[in-house]
Amino acid sequence: MGRTVLRLISGGTVLAVAAAVVLAWGYAQFTGPGPLQVARNVVIPAGTGLDGIAAALRGAGIVRHDYIFSIGARAFEKARSLKAGEYHIPAKASPREVMDILASGKTVVRRLTIPEGLTAAEVVDRLQRAEGLFGEVTVPEEGSLLPETYHFSYGDQRADLLARMRKSMQDALAQLWEMRAPDLPLDSPEEALVLASIVERETGIARERGLVAGVFVNRLRKGMRLQSDPTVAYGLSPAGLDRPLTRADLKQETPYNTYVIRGLPPTPIANPGVEAIRAVMNPVKTDYLYFVADGTGGHAFARTLPEHNRNVRKWRKIRDSN
Torsion of CA 176, 123, 216, 212, to 10 degrees: 90
Per-residue confidence (pLDDT) for residue 7, from 0 to 100: 56
Per-residue confidence (pLDDT) for residue 12, from 0 to 100: 59
CATH topology of domain 27-104: Dna Ligase; domain 1 (3.30.1490)
What does pLDDT average to in each consecutive run of 10 residues of the chain (322 residues)?
A: 54 64 80 95 94 95 94 93 95 96 95 97 97 96 98 96 98 97 95 98 92 97 96 93 90 95 97 97 96 87 93 82 69
Per-residue confidence (pLDDT) for residue 275, from 0 to 100: 97
Domain ranges of the chain: 27-104, 110-167, 182-321
Per-residue confidence (pLDDT) for residue 319, from 0 to 100: 73
Per-residue confidence (pLDDT) for residue 19, from 0 to 100: 67
Buried-state track 136-150, b at ≥16 Cβ within 10 A, e below 16: ebeebebbbbbbbeb
Measure the CA–CA gap between 175 and 183, rounded to whole angstroms.
17
Per-residue confidence (pLDDT) for residue 27, from 0 to 100: 85
The pTM assigned to this predicted structure is 0.85
